[in-house]
Copies of this chain bind each other. A is one copy, B any other.
Amino acid sequence: MTTSKLVYFFGGKRAEGKAVMRNLLGGKGAGLAEMDRLGIPVPSGFTITTDVCTEYYNRGKKFPPGLLKAVAAALKKVEKMMGARFGDARNPLLISVRSGARVSMPGMMDTVLNLGLNDTTVLGLAARTQNPRFAYDAYRRFVQMYGDVVLGLKPVTKEDVDPFEKILEAKKKEVGAESDTQLSTEDLEDLVGRFKEAIQKHTGAAFPEDPHEQLWGSIGAVFSSWDNPRAEAYRELNGIPSEWGTAVNVQSMVFGNMGEDSGTGVLFSRDPATGDKLLYGEFLMNAQGEDVVAGTRTPRPIAELESENSRVYSQLHAYSDTLEKHFGDLQDMEFTIQKGKLWMLQTRSGKRTGFAAIRIAVDLVTEGLIDEKEAISRIPPDAMNQLMRPVFDAEDQREALEHGRLLAKGLAAGPGAASGRVVFNAEDAEAWASRGEEVLLVRIETSPDDIRGMNAANGILTARGGMTSHAALVARQMGKVCVAGCETLRIDYKTHSMRVKGLTVNEGDWLSLDGTTGEVILGKLRTKPSEVLQVLVEKTLPADRSIVYQQYEKLMTWADRFRKLGVRTNADQPDQAEQAVAFGAEGIGLCRTEHMFFGEGKIEPMRKMILAENQAEREKALLRLLPLQREDFKGLFLAMGERPVTIRMLDPPLHEFLPHTDLEIRELAAGMEVTEDKLREKVDSLHETNPMLGHRGCRLGVSYPEITAMQTRAILEAAAEAQKESGLTPHPEIMIPLVGHVNELFHQAEVVGRVASEVAQEQNGEIPYLVGTMIELPRAALTADQIANVAEFFSYGTNDLTQTTFGLSRDDAQVFLTHYQQEGILDSDPFQTVDEDGVGQLMEIGLKLGRKTRKDLKVGICGEHGGDPRTIHFCHKIGLDYVSCSPFRVSIARLAAAQAAIAAKTKPAKTKKTKKKVTEKKGKKKPAKKVTKKEKKTTKKLKKTKKVVEKPKKTKKVAKKTKKAKKAVKKPDRKRGRPSIKKRSRAAKTAETRRRK
Chain A residues in contact with chain B, CB under 8 A? 449, 685, 688-695, 699, 702-703, 738, 740-747, 749-750, 752-754, 756-758, 760-761, 764-767, 769, 771, 776-779, 782-783, 785-786, 788-790, 792, 800, 803-809, 811-813, 815-816, 819-820, 823-826, 835, 837-839, 841-842, 853-854, 934, 960-969, 971-972, 974-981, 987, 990-991, 994-995
CB distance from A827 to the nearest CB of B (A): 9
Minimum CB–CB distance from A721 to chain B (whole Å) comes to 17
Q: List 23 A-B contacts (CB under 8 A).
A: A688-B812, A690-B693, A702-B823, A703-B819, A740-B808, A740-B838, A743-B823, A749-B968, A750-B968, A752-B968, A753-B969, A754-B990, A757-B965, A757-B994, A757-B995, A760-B961, A761-B962, A766-B963, A766-B964, A785-B977, A788-B975, A800-B807, A853-B976
In the complex with contacts A693-B692, A757-B991, A744-B825 CB distance below 8 A: yes
User: Once the chains are docked, how many angstroms separate the CA of A990 from the CA of B757?
Assistant: 12
CA distance A293 to B480 in the complex (A): 77
B825, A753: Cβ atoms under 8 Å? no
Within the complex, the shortest CB–CB distance from A707 to chain B, in Å, comes to: 14
CB < 8 Å neighbour of A972 from B702, B790, B978: B790
Give A968 to B760 CA distance when docked, in angstroms: 12
Collect the chain B residues with CB atoms within 8 Å of residue A823's CB. 702, 743, 747
Given contacts A752-B968, A820-B702, A961-B766, contact A815 B695 (CB under 8 A): yes
The answer to whether A688 and B961 touch across the interface, beta carbons within 8 angstroms, is no
Give the docked Cα–Cα distance between A779 and B806 (Å): 6
On chain B, the residues within 8 Å of A980 by CB distance are 743
Q: Which residues of B contact A750 (CB under 8 A)?
A: 968-969, 981, 987
Please give, as numbers and ranges, the residues of chain B lying within 8 Å of A758 by CB-CB distance. Answer: 965, 994
Compute how far the CA of A811 lies from the CA of B702 in the bound complex, rounded to whole angstroms: 19
Known contacts A743-B825, A816-B699, A825-B744; decide if A811 and B749 are in contact (CB<8 Å): no
Assess A693 versus B809: contact at CB under 8 Å? Given A743-B826, A790-B979, A979-B742. yes
Q: How far is the CA of A70 from the CA of B752 in the complex (A)?
A: 50
CA distance A805 to B781 in the complex (A): 10
Residues of the B chain whose Cβ atoms lie less than 8 Å from the Cβ of A753: 964-965, 967-969, 971, 991
Most buried by B among A783, A792, A971: A971
Which 7 residue pairs of A and B lie closest in terms of their CB atoms, listed nearest first? A753-B968, A757-B965, A693-B809, A779-B838, A690-B809, A778-B778, A689-B811
- Given A837-B782, A978-B789: A738 in contact with B807 (beta carbons within 8 A): yes
Partner of A691, one of B690, B742, B792, B963: B690
Residues of B within 8 A of A971 (CB): 749, 753, 771, 790, 792
Query: Closest CB of chain B to A206's CB: distance in Å?
Result: 41
Check B807–A771 contact: CB distance below 8 A: no
* A803 with B693: CB separation less than 8 A: yes
- The answer on a CB contact under 8 Å between B685 and A771 is no
* A689 in complex: contacting residue of B745, B761, B812, B960, CB < 8 Å: B812
Inter-subunit contact A825/B741 (CB<8 Å): yes
Bound state CA distance, A611 and B531, in angstroms?
52
Question: B743–A964 contact, CB under 8 A?
Answer: no
Residue of chain B at shortest CB distance from A840: B782
> Are A690 and B811 in contact, CB atoms less than 8 angstroms apart?
yes
CB distance from A749 to the nearest CB of B (A): 6
* Contact indicator B824/A743 (Cβ below 8 Å): yes
Q: Which residue of B lies closest to A740 (CB)?
A: B806
Given contacts A747-B981, A825-B702, is CB(A777)–CB(B740) below 8 Å?
A: no
Rounded to whole angstroms, the CA-CA distance of A841 and B846 in the bound complex is 13
Taking the closest CB of chain B, its distance from the CB of A903, in whole angstroms, is 25
Nearest residue in B to A749 (C-beta to C-beta)?
A: B968
Q: Nearest B residue to A447 by beta-carbon distance?
A: B689
Q: Which residue of B lies closest to A963 (CB)?
A: B766
Inter-subunit contact B771/A972 (CB<8 Å): no
Q: How far is the CB of A838 from chain B (nearest CB, A)?
A: 4
A449 nearest CB neighbor, chain B only:
B685
Report yes or no: B961 in contact with A761, Cβ–Cβ below 8 A.
yes
CB distance A841 to B782 under 8 Å?
Answer: yes
Q: Which residues of B contact A966 (CB under 8 A)?
A: 757
Q: Which residues of B contact A741 (CB under 8 A)?
A: 825-826, 838
Distance A812 CA – B655 CA, assembled complex (angstroms): 13
Output the nearest chain B residue to A776 by Cβ-Cβ distance: B807
Report the minimum CB–CB distance from A161 to chain B (whole Å).
28
Q: Which residue of chain B has the shortest Cβ distance to A760 in the bound complex?
A: B964
Q: Which residues of B contact A745 (CB under 8 A)?
A: 979
Q: How far is the CB of A760 from chain B (nearest CB, A)?
A: 5
CB of B809 within 8 A of CB of A807, answer no
A977 interface neighbour in B853, B965, B967, Cβ under 8 Å: B853
Bound CA span A610–B180, Å: 54
Contact call A695/B761, Cβ cutoff below 8 A: no
Is the Cβ of A805 less than 8 Å from the Cβ of B777?
Answer: yes
Interfacial chain B residues near A738, Cβ < 8 Å: 807
Of listed A783, A842, A964, A969, residue having the most chain B CB within 10 A: A964
> Of all chain B residues, which has the CB nearest A753?
B968
**Contacts A703-B816, A782-B837 hold; do A968 and B757 have CB atoms under 8 A apart?**
yes
- The answer, among B693, B752, B808, for a CB contact under 8 Å with A807, is B693
A995 to B: closest C-beta gap in Å: 7
In the bound complex, CA of A626 to CA of B728 (Å): 73
- CB neighbours (8 Å) of A975 from chain B are 788-789, 853-854
- Residues from chain B with a CB closer than 8 A to the CB of A826 are 741, 743
Contact A746 B981 (CB under 8 A): yes
Chain B CB within 10 Å — which of A692, A783, A805, A807 has the most?
A: A807
Contact A688–B806 (Cβ < 8 Å): no
CB distance from A200 to the nearest CB of B (A): 39
Cross-chain contact of A789 among B964, B979, B990 (Cβ < 8 A): B979
Q: Which of A743, A824, A842, A976 has the most CB of B within 10 A?
A: A743
Q: Which residues of B contact A968 (CB under 8 A)?
A: 749-750, 752-754, 756-757, 771
Shortest Cβ distance from A691 into chain B, in angstroms? 7
Flag if A977 contacts B837 (CB, 8 Å): no
Which residue of B has the minimal Cβ distance to A970?
B753
Task: Tell me, rounded to whole Å, the shortest Cβ–Cβ distance linking A841 to chain B.
Answer: 5
Other A-B pairs beyond A740-B805, A782-B805, 19, CB < 8 Å: A688-B811, A690-B692, A691-B812, A693-B693, A693-B807, A695-B815, A695-B816, A740-B806, A741-B825, A743-B825, A743-B826, A743-B979, A743-B980, A754-B987, A757-B994, A760-B964, A761-B962, A779-B838, A789-B972
Question: How far does the Cβ of A783 sit from chain B's closest Cβ, in whole Å?
Answer: 5
| CB-CB under 8 A for A813 and B694, given A807-B800, A968-B749 | yes
When C-beta atoms are compared, the residue in chain B nearest to A932 turns out to be: B786
Q: What is the bound-complex CA distance between A693 and B803, given in angstroms?
A: 8
A965-B779 contact given A747-B823, A807-B740, A816-B703, CB 8 Å threshold: no
A839 contacts across to B, CB distance below 8 A: 779
Asked whether, in the complex, the Cβ of B825 is within 8 Å of the Cβ of A747, the reply is yes
A955 to chain B, nearest CB (A): 14
Residues on B with beta carbons closer than 8 Å to the beta carbon of A785: 977
From B693, B746, B853, B991, contact of A754 by CB (8 A): B991
Nearest-CB residue, chain B, relative to A742: B979
Q: Are B689 and A689 in contact (CB under 8 A)?
A: no
Residues of B close to A742: CB separation below 8 A: 977, 979
Chain B nearest Cβ from A665, distance in angstroms: 18
A490 to chain B, nearest CB (A): 12
In the assembled complex, the Cα of A192 lies from the Cα of B934 at a distance in Å of 86
Complex formed: what's the CA distance from A854 to B971 in Å? 12
User: Nearest residue in B to A942 (C-beta to C-beta)?
Assistant: B789
The answer for the CA separation of A782 and B845 in the assembled complex, in Å, is 11
**Residues of B contacting A853 in the complex (Cβ-Cβ under 8 angstroms):** 975-977
Q: Which residues of B contact A788 (CB under 8 A)?
A: 975
Separation in Å of the A370 CB from the closest CB of chain B? 40
A703 nearest CB neighbor, chain B only: B816
Question: B residues within 8 A CB of A760?
Answer: 961-962, 964-965
Asked if B779 contacts A805 (CB within 8 A), the reply is yes
Instruction: Give min CB distance, A933 to chain B, whole Å.
Output: 13
Q: Which of A757, A854, A975, A981 has the most CB of B within 10 A?
A: A757
Least CB distance from A941 to B in Å reads 11
Closest chain B residue to A757 by CB distance?
Answer: B965
A694-B809 in contact (CB<8A): yes
